[in-house]
Structure 1
Amino acid sequence: MTIAMASEKELKTESNQKYVYLFNEVDQAQEKMGGSWEGVRSLLGGKGANLADMTRLGVPVPPGLTVSTEACNAYLEAGEQFPDGMWEQVLEAIKDVEKAMGKKIGDLQKPLLVSCRSGAKFSMPGMMDTVLNIGMNDAVAEEMIKRTGPKFVYDIYRRVIQMFGGVVMGVPDEVFEAVIEAQRKAAGVKSDTEMSADDWKVITEQFKQIYKTYTNEDFPQDPLEQMKRATEAVFKSWNGKRAFAYRDAAGIPHDLGTAVNIQTMVYGNISDDAGTGVAMSRNASTGEKELEGDFLMNAQGEDVVAGIRITQPISDLQKEMPNIYAQFEEIAQKLEKHYRNMQDMEFTIDRGKLWILQTRDGKRTAQAEVRIAVDQVEEGLISKEEAVRRVKPEQVDFFLHPQLDGEAVKEATQIATGLNVSPGAAVGIVAFDADTAEKWAKEEGKKVIMVRPETKPDDVHGMLAAEGILTSKGGRTSHAALVARQFGKPAVVGVSELELDLIGRKMTVGEDLEIYEGEWLSLDGTQGIVYLGQLPTVVPDFKNPYLLKLLGWADEIRELGVWANADYPRDAERAREYGAQGIGLCRTEHMFFEAERMPIVQKMIMSKHAVDRKEALDQLLPLQRGDFEGLFRAMDGLPVIIRLIDPPLHEFLPSFEELVQDLADLKVRTQHYHTLSEIDAALAEIRVKQDYLERVEALREMNPMLGTRGVRLGILIPELTKMQVRAIFEAACKCSKEGVDVHPEVMIPLISHVNELKTQQAALEAEAKAVMEEQGIEVTYKFGTMIEIPRAALTAGEIAEVAQFFSFGTNDLTQTTFGISRDDAESGFLMEYQQKGILADNPFASIDPNGVGRLMEIAVADGRSARKDLEVGICGEHGGDPKSIAICHNLNLNYVSCSPFRVPIARLAAAHAALADK
């Protein structure tokens, strides 16, 4: 018994569960979901919900029905069996569709053909399956030819065999395409549209043979069997490999299921007054309020998107079919007003009648997203809050960093991929060390990509000079990544395909591609891709008026302050331009790494006598003072938090391994010297190297998180931090006398016990008061500390009795809480933890809410119980992460501090956190 001949008793079988909804039954669906439109989208999928909604609005939609996501989930849970009553509901609903169209499935005189399409709650373009022209068979084709001609009929017949064969039966699409290609050659034509009716008839017969060869059965002639098996195929496609991977990448849950939309076919290729197209209610690139899209006359929808024919811009439709264009324009405006968002619409014109096949919120560039949101507020369609909520924080990145030209990328040679740790585009010639990068950039005006196995602090000058950074090792919180983000340098790190030969001055990619120093590379830091050669870039404009307006609205909504991490005046100026309300972290040690200062710093560290150390510190004092003057002037009227020296001293000296190798080389060379002067010079150099080696060996820490650093340095070498405080307050007094409104805040890092803070702060505050007395002027100031050790968080109440502010150093707090170093984590096991689900997120990328977040909660509560007006912020890398910003909002911090280039992102993310809280 065929499905078409099913008994009346079977057709009347009902289930208590309603699985099928006609497009005109959207009210029933909404009532079932408690009046929630989001619920309707979950039940009917985005496509089905919008088709039903458009039907309710009176938009011309080809009639149809939707099989719900509940049916899909029940089907999959039952081991790929339709739930009881579902198919009977489909057959009953089809009768209503037949009545609406005056046609019937399988009828020879007035055959109804339908499409069967997927439609999940969230759009997943191209990820699941579709079958068109269901209902076509030999008998229907024979009768249709009499009314519409053979070319049209055989074209749509071959399409249903090809799509059904591929989607339902797994026949390779390449086999069908090979037949079409062969027939084109035989006919002597270049495109499908040039083929004749006889060509399509030959192809259709060959498709039937291919289908039988691969499936061991004839193409099914029963239209209802075609529809049933196509419905099953769409359900199965929910768990297809590409759909699963897409959901993983897009963060879409795997348990939603897909709906199935069975809809009347309409044809844009049936006559000369037919056509099809895709258009958006606004420009998807710029956001301008104008229709944008493409169409083709006498064509099917897939012809528009497949590039088979050269399309026409939608504006041409106004000339060719002015009445249809006016109707479409009116519908586009109606749908945009209804959905309060830019719409992406598919349409077909069937013998002079316009049909809308789909509408959904249109995909758009970041620039368009911002402009559309702002324009729709000013048009009264949405509120400021909705506009702010609509724009994602990461979209702001596109306004801050150059991007590779999209057209050039299509033709470019991609050679490697790595971690996309710092967004934007960088194009330059390869330099394999910091000195070369700086020399080429500063002295010769060349654009440089600095390529290293990994970077370290003494590479900073090269990194600052370079356009971008590429490393073969390292992770998202490696030195290269942190510095790149700090200075807005595009970076791709952890590119394992790279093998660097620093002696031969070349790198190898794969087996045989060799790139020598001085050759061109292009980096896409947003995607983590490396391209060969010199690609053009496009520089977005941060002064975009729409973005500035949107961020202004975000500032009205957010409760968190947004400050910046800045070590140099130029960074402070940029931060202020981007909307920073203060400096939350100035790392004074970064100032020491500048080339002209490093010898003085090393002299201070190597000094064996107090007088020598004082001489070095006296040289550093005016340099530091000048740095702070620049910061205070740039941030006139805003607070500037300056962290005293934090890293262990050995980081300012050559590495232990480097010194050992240098000594060995020197001793070998000395054996070949013959003159006394040569030998004396070599021995003197050896003594210097040995002194350095002894000092490095005494100072170096195996784990840089532990040992002699932070406040411990200040206690053991008090003259060092006193020099820094003197420089801060001399600069503050000088600027204040010049009319600058200064607000210095001195931060003492890495305390674990309140007695450390008492000891250090008392000495430093005395120094600050001495400077102000000498200068004859008072400035307002604060002394505070970083909370980056668990014990400090747990004893925050007693610490707050001394400190006037807290700043969470969440990178270090994460390391000391988890007991792992960043380097260890990035070497591999943390990634494996995430892959295995042991950790949901990288705790160095987003604050761990239950561990680190809990410590922060304790510290805030206890600290403010001891000092009600305690200022509390965060200054780690997490300060620019939207997830972490939400945690900071919920903890009632005063501010987050991040890289200047992430300030606009943080402003928007803080507003999102406030909106979510409400």
Structure 2
Amino acid sequence: MTKFVYLFGGGRTDGSAEMKELLGGKGANLAEMASLGIPVPPGFTITTEVCRYYIEHGNQYPAGLEDQVKEGIKHLEEATGRVFGDLKNPLLVSVRSGAPVSMPGMMDTILNLGLNDELVKGLAEKTGPRFAYDAYRRLLAMYGSVVLGVKDEGGAGVDPFDAAMEALKEERGAASDLDLTAEDLAELVRRYEEIIERAGKKFPQDPWEQLWGAIGAVFSSWNNERARIYRRLNRIPETLGTAVNVQAMVFGNLGERSGTGVAFTRDPATGENRFYGEYLLNAQGEDVVAGIRTPKPIEELEREMPEVYRQLLAVREKLERHYRDMQDIEFTIEEGRLYLLQTRTGKRTGFAAVRIAVEMVEEGLIDEKEAILRIDPAEQLSQLLQPIFDPKEKAKAEVLAKGLPAGPGAATGMIALTAETAVKLAKEGQPAILVRHETSPEDIEGMAAAKGILTSRGGMTSHAAVVARQIGKVAVVGCDGLNVDYERREIS
């Protein structure tokens, strides 16, 4: 029988970094990290072959996959001591994409899968009600959007689940989601379920139905519009397909001894050889990437959790020496314990690419030939020629607000509050600046069309920053003095 499922972590690892075509970059590197002794939550990868079969056969799975997935879940249960669908001690999993070529945020992710209206009560007894309802509301929002297709209700490009969160925070006088109580989050769960029902959908209460729905949605996301646009922009073949990674959840939202972050082994903007990244306490990974809250610089973790910070520095050294390139890592801290959720070759600006290549030759990591081959003249060298403001004119200008410099150069243009508007203006020959609270993967075409990107939230590892660096786009992120009102179509 063809092997469709490859295990990693929990004392058994089937794959390696050399198997990216089959396991995708994420799955292959998770297996590699597990083999290196780096702490990785146990999981399994469903191969890219299954994705291609699924798409070619009208959303059907190959024979034998169901039994292999059941064995994969059994592996997670044995490794964690939890049981999938159990009322008292439930195993929760994440379901993530992972193509052979990195496509940050272009395909779909579902976290905390395995909860339902009854299981959340058992989890609340075990871990506390605030954590349990926080996990459940995240699942409902992700599953509702990704699997059930519940999208913007008003046509203003606003996610209905985000809108419900913002409305509740305003009602409760909460500055952020951390200020909401367990009762508030239970109310948010009720509102999220209403949003799903209003859309004519139903959230499945059976964890196995949830799992198969999520797996199918991730495979289908290979052909969603944003993924197709991203592949066209980056000359990625349409035939590769994505793997699916199912992994035991570790929780960064268990309190102040827990957190999540994204880091680079070198500065992706300048190439400087320093550990560079951001994190949030009491949060899950999507919070950092999506720019829900503006995160803290990684250096502050040394003060808040010195032992975890030392472990991260050791992982940084090990991964960069092993892969011989700058790495982009995602991590979670669960009650003081560090876990790595991803490593991949980090996206960088043209400035950074040249500096990293030169310094890695000097450090003996690579030779001169490899350094030259790492520089893409069409993309990275062109970034070195980006226009900048005249220093004298810049000195005269009135400063309206400040943010973080996420992309190279300078730009001017008309304000576009949606990706569609940015695309329309570009087609009319008018330069546009895409202005958002934070960008999402759905904005990719507008980000490519705009001359620059400005966000009021997020940090240097947010979606806007990562994509801007990769495509050489001028970007300022986390400009918290900026107020963006989508409904009134104005900024202040």
Q: Tell me the TM-score normalised to structure 2 length.
A: 0.77
Structure 2 residue aligned with 1:187: 172
Per-residue displacement from partner, 1:329-387 (whole Å, max 9, x unpaired)?
00011011111100111111101100011111111111111111111112121121111
Query: Residue 144 of structure 2: which of 161, 165, 184 is its match?
Result: 165
Structure 1 residue aligned with 2:487: none
Residues 408 and 255 of structure 1, relative CA distance in 2, 3 Å threshold: closer
Structure 2 residue aligned with 1:306: 290
Residues 71 and 496 of structure 1, relative CA distance in 2, 3 Å threshold: closer
Check the 8 A contact 1:26/1:53 in 2, yes or no.
no
Q: For 1:335 and 1:141, locate their aligned partners in 2 and report how far apart those are by CA, in whole Å.
A: 37
3-state secondary structure, aligned to 2:286: helix
| Deviation of 1:411 (Å) | 7.1
Q: For 1:326 and 1:238, locate their aligned partners in 2 and report how far apart those are by CA, in whole Å.
A: 37
| Deviation of 1:403 (Å) | 4.1
The answer to whether structure 1 residue 413 and structure 2 residue 411 are counterparts is: no
Q: 2:101 corresponds to which letter in structure 1? A: F
Q: 1:210 corresponds to which letter in structure 2? A: I
Residues 253 and 408 of structure 1, relative CA distance in 2, 3 Å threshold: closer
3-state secondary structure, aligned to 2:134: helix
Structure 2 residue aligned with 1:376: 360
Q: For 1:338 and 1:331, locate their aligned partners in 2 and report how far apart those are by CA, in whole Å.
A: 10
Structure 2 residue aligned with 1:397: 382
Structure 2 residue aligned with 1:721: none
Residues 247 and 496 of structure 1, relative CA distance in 2, 3 Å threshold: closer
Q: For 2:226 and 2:13, locate their aligned partners in 1 and report how far apart those are by CA, in whole Å.
A: 34
Query: Residue 105 of structure 1: which of 84, 89, 93 is its match?
Result: 84
Check the 8 A contact 1:114/1:262 in 2, yes or no.
yes
Q: 2:96 corresponds to which letter in structure 1? A: R
Check the 8 A contact 1:414/1:530 in 2, yes or no.
no
Structure 1 residue aligned with 2:70: 91
Residues 225 and 342 of structure 1, relative CA distance in 2, 3 Å threshold: same
Q: For 2:450 and 2:224, locate their aligned partners in 1 and report how far apart those are by CA, in whole Å.
A: 27
The answer to whether structure 1 residue 67 and structure 2 residue 52 are counterparts is: no
Structure 2 residue aligned with 1:642: none
The answer to whether structure 1 residue 137 and structure 2 residue 116 are counterparts is: yes
| Deviation of 1:528 (Å) | 8.8
Q: For 2:427 and 2:186, locate their aligned partners in 1 and report how far apart those are by CA, in whole Å.
A: 53
Query: Residue 265 of structure 1: which of 241, 244, 249 is its match?
Result: 249
Structure 1 residue aligned with 2:56: 77
Aligned residues: 403
Q: For 1:90 and 1:186, locate their aligned partners in 2 and report how far apart those are by CA, in whole Å.
A: 43
> Which residues in structure 2 correspond to 1:583-602 (within 5 Å)?
none
| Deviation of 1:530 (Å) | 7.3
Q: For 1:294 and 1:162, locate their aligned partners in 2 and report how far apart those are by CA, in whole Å.
A: 24
Query: Residue 289 of structure 1: which of 270, 273, 287 is its match?
Result: 273
Check the 8 A contact 1:279/1:292 in 2, yes or no.
yes
* Unpaired runs of at least 5, structure 2: 153-158, 390-404, 417-425, 432-447, 453-492
> Which residues in structure 2 correspond to 1:643-658 (within 5 Å)?
none
Structure 2 residue aligned with 1:322: 306
Residues 116 and 317 of structure 1, relative CA distance in 2, 3 Å threshold: same
3-state secondary structure, aligned to 1:158: helix
Per-residue displacement from partner, 1:769-828 (whole Å, max 9, x unpaired)?
xxxxxxxxxxxxxxxxxxxxxxxxxxxxxxxxxxxxxxxxxxxxxxxxxxxxxxxxxxxx
The answer to whether structure 1 residue 208 and structure 2 residue 193 are counterparts is: yes
Q: For 1:387 and 1:125, locate their aligned partners in 2 and report how far apart those are by CA, in whole Å.
A: 24
Structure 2 residue aligned with 1:340: 324
| Deviation of 1:396 (Å) | 2.5
Check the 8 A contact 1:21/1:67 in 2, yes or no.
yes
Check the 8 A contact 1:284/1:363 in 2, yes or no.
yes
Q: For 1:124 and 1:343, locate their aligned partners in 2 and report how far apart those are by CA, in whole Å.
A: 15
| Deviation of 1:165 (Å) | 1.0
Check the 8 A contact 2:148/2:201 in 1, yes or no.
no
Q: For 2:98 and 2:451, locate their aligned partners in 1 and report how far apart those are by CA, in whole Å.
A: 36
3-state secondary structure, aligned to 2:199: helix
Residues 397 and 275 of structure 1, relative CA distance in 2, 3 Å threshold: same
Q: CA RMSD in A?
A: 2.4
Query: Residue 356 of structure 1: which of 319, 336, 340 is its match?
Result: 340
Structure 1 residue aligned with 2:488: none
Q: For 2:225 and 2:451, locate their aligned partners in 1 and report how far apart those are by CA, in whole Å.
A: 27
Residues 27 and 316 of structure 1, relative CA distance in 2, 3 Å threshold: closer
| Deviation of 1:299 (Å) | 1.5
Check the 8 A contact 2:15/2:31 in 1, yes or no.
no
Query: Residue 42 of structure 1: which of 21, 35, 40 is its match?
Result: 21
3-state secondary structure, aligned to 2:191: helix
Q: 1:312 corresponds to which letter in structure 2? A: K
Check the 8 A contact 2:386/2:408 in 1, yes or no.
no
Check the 8 A contact 1:277/1:296 in 2, yes or no.
yes
Q: For 2:211 and 2:250, locate their aligned partners in 1 and report how far apart those are by CA, in whole Å.
A: 17
The answer to whether structure 1 residue 54 and structure 2 residue 38 are counterparts is: no
Q: For 2:101 and 2:356, locate their aligned partners in 1 and report how far apart those are by CA, in whole Å.
A: 21
Q: For 2:449 and 2:92, locate their aligned partners in 1 and report how far apart those are by CA, in whole Å.
A: 46
Structure 2 residue aligned with 1:501: none
Q: Which has the higher contact order (CA 8 A, sep 6+)?
A: 2
Per-residue displacement from partner, 1:882-910 (whole Å, max 9, x unpaired)?
xxxxxxxxxxxxxxxxxxxxxxxxxxxxx
Check the 8 A contact 1:129/1:234 in 2, yes or no.
yes
| Deviation of 1:302 (Å) | 2.1
Q: 2:291 corresponds to which letter in structure 1? A: G
* Unpaired runs of at least 5, structure 1: 1-15, 31-36, 416-494, 499-508, 511-526, 532-918
| Deviation of 1:182 (Å) | 2.1
Q: For 2:312 and 2:171, locate their aligned partners in 1 and report how far apart those are by CA, in whole Å.
A: 40
3-state secondary structure, aligned to 1:277: strand
| Deviation of 1:400 (Å) | 4.7
Query: Residue 371 of structure 2: which of 361, 383, 387 is its match?
Result: 387
Q: 2:57 corresponds to which letter in structure 1? A: A
Check the 8 A contact 2:383/2:408 in 1, yes or no.
no
Residues 411 and 223 of structure 1, relative CA distance in 2, 3 Å threshold: farther
| Deviation of 1:398 (Å) | 3.4
3-state secondary structure, aligned to 1:71: helix
Check the 8 A contact 2:99/2:241 in 1, yes or no.
yes
Check the 8 A contact 1:235/1:258 in 2, yes or no.
yes
Q: For 1:409 and 1:402, locate their aligned partners in 2 and report how far apart those are by CA, in whole Å.
A: 6
Residues 384 and 60 of structure 1, relative CA distance in 2, 3 Å threshold: same
229-238 or 369-378, which moves further after superposition? 369-378
Q: 1:392 corresponds to which letter in structure 2? A: D
Q: For 2:212 and 2:139, locate their aligned partners in 1 and report how far apart those are by CA, in whole Å.
A: 14
Structure 2 residue aligned with 1:121: 100
Q: For 1:202 and 1:530, locate their aligned partners in 2 and report how far apart those are by CA, in whole Å.
A: 41
Larger radius of gyration: 1
Q: For 2:215 and 2:366, locate their aligned partners in 1 and report how far apart those are by CA, in whole Å.
A: 38
The answer to whether structure 1 residue 255 and structure 2 residue 246 are counterparts is: no
Q: For 2:303 and 2:381, locate their aligned partners in 1 and report how far apart those are by CA, in whole Å.
A: 39
Q: For 2:329 and 2:451, locate their aligned partners in 1 and report how far apart those are by CA, in whole Å.
A: 36
Q: For 1:42 and 1:389, locate their aligned partners in 2 and report how far apart those are by CA, in whole Å.
A: 21
Check the 8 A contact 1:26/1:52 in 2, yes or no.
no
Q: For 2:251 and 2:427, locate their aligned partners in 1 and report how far apart those are by CA, in whole Å.
A: 51
Percent identity for Structure 1 against Structure 2: 49
Check the 8 A contact 2:7/2:13 in 1, yes or no.
no
Structure 2 residue aligned with 1:577: none
Structure 2 residue aligned with 1:242: 226
